Structure 1
Amino acid sequence: MGIVLNQSLKNTIITYIGFGIGGINTIFFFPIILGDTYYGLTNYILSGANLMMPLFAIGMQNTLVKFFSQCTSEEEENRFLSFTVLVPLVLCIPLIIMGLVFFDDIAALIPKKNELAISYLWLIPFTGFCMAYFEIFYAWARVHMHSIFGNFVKEVGLRVFALIALVAVYFNFLTVIQFIYVTSGIYFFAFLVTMFYAFRIKKPHFQFSLPANLKEVLIYSFYIILSGSVANLLLDGDKIILGQFMEFKNIAYYSVATYIALVISVPSRAMHQIVYPITAKLMHENKQEKLNDLYKKTSINLQIVGGFVMLGIFVNINKVYEMMPPVYAGGITVVFMIGLSKYFDLILGNNNAIIFNSKYYRMVLFLGLMLVFLTITLNLVFIPMFGIIGSAFATLLSITLYSLAKLLFVVKRMHLYPFTRQTLYSMGLTLVLFLLFYFWEFPFIPVIAIGLKSILLTVAYVYINYKFVISIEINEVIDSVFKKLNIKL
């Protein structure tokens, strides 16, 4: 358990560092150095690759994690590792051949306003392949209890190399066209580094044989392909649809806004690493009362932490956009819409963990497929009417309905409920502080104005939450910190 907690803490820190570097790239460097068209094209390629990644990996990164522990001998381990690495490679070949045969038909789907993308279409499957095998070899390392290096490569390494490439473009060592190829090369490099790291941990002895539990493995992999495709469609599908209706520069505006809003969901990653195994244990032991209590605690704690991050973004968003080219300002509304959808998802606490660890786990996939259909349909309706704001509204509406469906499912089928009076108090506090701080601007340069407003907001938010005891657990954390600092409230 010490290893798990130690690596979870380090991975959480790495994730925050990665998001910080990514934020700097997204807000300051990409828009200014690449320009909106080539930034949008870069996002289009990476989004397409991310959509193809589950098909290339065929779920083996999750299958490896789930079934590796069932191997009872080193020979079985070698056989299973070989299976998870070689089978995707065999299945990728027909997909690549089909892509080459039907390349002209695929290229014809690109609208004339974005014909620039045709020259780079081959980078989408190439990058998707690199992403898939990175995940597989990262899973290879994780099953041997080495998760930090791969997470560092994924969260920090990719963004640092992107930053270096952007600086190279700024100083004319690279052109913007070369940058696009270099970006795909970075993912290829990440895949190779992770592969050799995995081989260093466990020397490969490849065998061309099938595991004994082949049927179970294939069924699970099928569900992972579907669930992974659902997740990636929700994350990047809107950008691909935008590329069908609007010029690539609009994808750039949208990508900046969505990245800023996604920061709201970061706190849930740290908590879920701890909550998932606890939820599974309580459900296995059939401790309904304790599970319901945990559900409420995760809900209110994520609501408070996520609400604070959301407030910090919302009240400073105008100053943030002052530091970017003026053409990006249309994304402010997108930030609010995507941010609210992430906030609503946060307040459901460990809802996903409860469903995934129950006998109803297939329901998440069913609801996810419904969400994908709804999201694509709404994007097709609203993008032609309202552009990037229409896409954001489609995301807000579909994710809200999806979250509501999951909530009602858990309440009705499992008789668990996440909300209390503290939920309403927290929402009320968040709304009041937003109204107080949003319309009040410091007449300073953006960085100083953001810093000052954030300090005042932090003091007000923490103090009021503490005094009204919105969360007992958060109050206990504050008490312990103040006790160490010899501070009394």
Structure 2
Amino acid sequence: MGIVLKQSFNNTLILFLGFAIGGINVLFLFTNFLHEDYFGLITFLLSTANIIMPLLVFGIHQTIIKYYSSYKTKIEKDGFLIATLVLPLVVIIPLAFVGVFLYEFISNWLSAENPLIKSYSYLIFIVAIFMGYFEVFYSWTKVQFNSVFGNFIKEIFTRICTSFLLVAVYFNWITNEQFIYAIVIVYGVRTLIMKLYALYIYMPKLVFKIPSNLKELLSFSFYIIIAGSASGILLEIDKFMIPQIEKIAEVAYYSVGIYIASVVAIPTRAMQQITSPITAKEMNNNNIPEVEKLYKQTSINLLVVGGLLFLLINLNITDLYELINKPQYTKGIWIVLIISIAKLMELALGTGNAILMNSKYYKIFFYMSLAMALTVIILNRWLISLVGINGAALATLIVVLTYSSIKIFYIKSKLNIQPFSTNTVKIVLIVSAVFFLFYFWNFEFFPLINIAIKGVLITVIYLFIINKLHISKDLNSLVSKYF
């Protein structure tokens, strides 16, 4: 766990800094400097691009993670990496021609409820290409066990640029419309930086050699397209579907709630940057005991850290929305609680997704992902119409709880490993007890002071209990080392 803890710790710091900058953007700059319709618009465009991104890059970014370590010679590895740059073009070029031919139809469909979307529809395709090739080059560095810089560019660079652009809107240096185009340029620059760094870390020779296992690669990539698009649908379909049913400004209110809740997922995002390639390597070597060890350790560590974040967020949420000082955005308060519960379940899964994706049972992962996507679409259509944007959050929670449980049982049945222990039960009980202890305990000071006081109390009590019960050896070691 040495390299995992070291890079996960660095990635966690980067993610927290990125989320802090993003929090300023989402909670204060977007809400005060940009018209809420354009806030909803940029959220819609980026979410839709995320959904189609796996299709455009042919799932290559995940294929690199799974197969790179299986090649033994430099020539084989270089030929494989060069192929990962070419294969996405087989999808991108034909789809570009189709998009040009059907653009009017597609843009009219996307903007049926909100005409503002029509003029910007083509940007979805461009941003998706930028996002896709960024992930390809990022995967190049991940398989070299170098994930920190890419994480910095992904999490911090884009958000800092967004901050400057929002300030530019405030001072009328650029318009709301120009802001949309400027964000697209930022994603293009981000991809270029990632490309240059990936080539700096590892420069493959220009080897035009078809990989010997091309059929297997194409088969895996095809399933990755299904799974990646399905995962994108699970994460982003709510922001895509809300404008089809509600006013586009509702996406802005929903996005603020989602962003706050997504802080709970910071630990898993940090750890996955390094555990995914390690899991792939151990699965390729059929080292199941090491896979199980990583499975259990990540699950317990993520739950401990995620549990603290869950408490800090949900027990301070009222004061946080008072700081935002935009009454219309308080529609997202219940969204925060619902989505953060879903994020806790994802944390409990540990490296479960990486295990399934890199095992010989990888096809079932894609079928599950497809089923998840179809389920969440159906639930979104029903629940958004029924209870508005809270319905989108409920749909996500139902799907995450159901399919995460199915994945855990499936891995247990096939590999006879599972992530839970008695410590898992202890964490759930501790989080529940602290939540109900502080839920009705409110201070009457300025919101920022209330958050600080309650935050310190929650953190001290929670970490004291976790440390005394020796729930996580890794986190106890960190506490001993730094405190």
TM-score (norm 1): 0.89
- Rounded to whole Å, the distance in 2 between the matches of 1:314 and 1:279 is 35
May I ask how many residue pairs the two structures share in their alignment? 481
- Rounded to whole Å, the distance in 2 between the matches of 1:334 and 1:250 is 12
Structure 2 counterpart of 1:364:
365
Matching residue's letter, 1:453? K
Structure 2 counterpart of 1:215:
215
1:51 to 1:286, Cα distance in 2 relative to 1, 3 A: closer
1:40-69 CA distance string (max 9 Å, x none):
000001011111211111122233444445
Structure 2 runs not aligned, ≥5 long: none
Query: Do residues 464 (structure 1) and 465 (structure 2) align?
Result: yes
Query: Do residues 453 (structure 1) and 454 (structure 2) align?
Result: yes
Bigger shift: residues 349-358 or 35-44: 349-358
Structure 2 counterpart of 1:338:
339
Q: 1:241, 1:380 within 8 Å by CA — same for their partners in 2?
A: yes
Q: 1:280, 1:354 within 8 Å by CA — same for their partners in 2?
A: no
State how 1:295-374 maps to structure 2 within 5 Å: 295-324=295-324, 325-374=326-375
1:228-278 CA distance string (max 9 Å, x none):
112211111111111211111111111111111111111123444565536
Bigger shift: residues 334-343 or 47-56: 47-56
1:481 to 1:107, Cα distance in 2 relative to 1, 3 A: closer
Structure 2 counterpart of 1:241:
241
- Offset at 1:159? 0.8
Aligned CA RMSD, in angstroms, stands at 2.9
1:447 to 1:198, Cα distance in 2 relative to 1, 3 A: same
- Offset at 1:332? 0.5
Query: Do residues 116 (structure 1) and 124 (structure 2) align?
Result: no
- Rounded to whole Å, the distance in 2 between the matches of 1:90 and 1:356 is 24
1:394 to 1:7, Cα distance in 2 relative to 1, 3 A: closer
Structure 2 counterpart of 1:63:
63
Bigger shift: residues 182-191 or 419-428: 419-428
Bigger shift: residues 464-473 or 203-212: 203-212
- Rounded to whole Å, the distance in 2 between the matches of 1:23 and 1:87 is 37
1:65 to 1:275, Cα distance in 2 relative to 1, 3 A: closer
State how 1:70-469 maps to structure 2 within 5 Å: 76=76, 79-143=79-143, 147-200=147-200, 210-272=210-272, 277=278, 281=282, 295-324=295-324, 325-469=326-470
1:194 to 1:471, Cα distance in 2 relative to 1, 3 A: closer
1:301 to 1:74, Cα distance in 2 relative to 1, 3 A: closer
Query: Do residues 14 (structure 1) and 14 (structure 2) align?
Result: yes
Bigger shift: residues 292-301 or 216-225: 292-301
Q: 2:61, 2:139 within 8 Å by CA — same for their partners in 1?
A: yes
- Offset at 1:337? 0.6
- Rounded to whole Å, the distance in 1 between the matches of 2:157 and 2:195 is 15
1:202-223 CA distance string (max 9 Å, x none):
6676566633332122122212
1:293-344 CA distance string (max 9 Å, x none):
6655443332222111100000001111112211000100011111111112
Q: 2:57, 2:91 within 8 Å by CA — same for their partners in 1?
A: no
- Rounded to whole Å, the distance in 1 between the matches of 2:280 and 2:350 is 11
1:458 to 1:250, Cα distance in 2 relative to 1, 3 A: same
- Secondary structure of 2:259's partner? helix
Q: 1:279, 1:291 within 8 Å by CA — same for their partners in 2?
A: no
- Secondary structure of 2:113's partner? helix
- Rounded to whole Å, the distance in 2 between the matches of 1:464 and 1:69 is 41
- Offset at 1:453? 0.8
Q: 1:242, 1:251 within 8 Å by CA — same for their partners in 2?
A: yes
Bigger shift: residues 471-480 or 15-24: 471-480
1:269 to 1:198, Cα distance in 2 relative to 1, 3 A: closer
- Secondary structure of 2:34's partner? helix
- Rounded to whole Å, the distance in 2 between the matches of 1:474 and 1:231 is 30
1:364-414 CA distance string (max 9 Å, x none):
212111111111110011111111001111111111111111122233444
State how 1:41-56 maps to structure 2 within 5 Å: 41-56=41-56
1:348 to 1:439, Cα distance in 2 relative to 1, 3 A: same
Bigger shift: residues 215-224 or 165-174: 215-224
- Rounded to whole Å, the distance in 2 between the matches of 1:292 and 1:67 is 20
- Offset at 1:194? 2.5
- Report % sequence identity: 41
Matching residue's letter, 1:304? V
- Of structures 1 and 2, the larger Rg is shown by 1
1:69 to 1:341, Cα distance in 2 relative to 1, 3 A: closer
- Rounded to whole Å, the distance in 1 between the matches of 2:288 and 2:85 is 39
- Rounded to whole Å, the distance in 1 between the matches of 2:237 and 2:402 is 18
Q: 1:298, 1:350 within 8 Å by CA — same for their partners in 2?
A: yes
Matching residue's letter, 1:26? V
Matching residue's letter, 1:178? Q
- Secondary structure of 1:389's partner? helix
TM-score (norm 2): 0.90
- Secondary structure of 2:186's partner? helix
- Rounded to whole Å, the distance in 1 between the matches of 2:145 and 2:425 is 41
- Rounded to whole Å, the distance in 1 between the matches of 2:244 and 2:34 is 21
1:152 to 1:475, Cα distance in 2 relative to 1, 3 A: closer
Matching residue's letter, 1:264? V
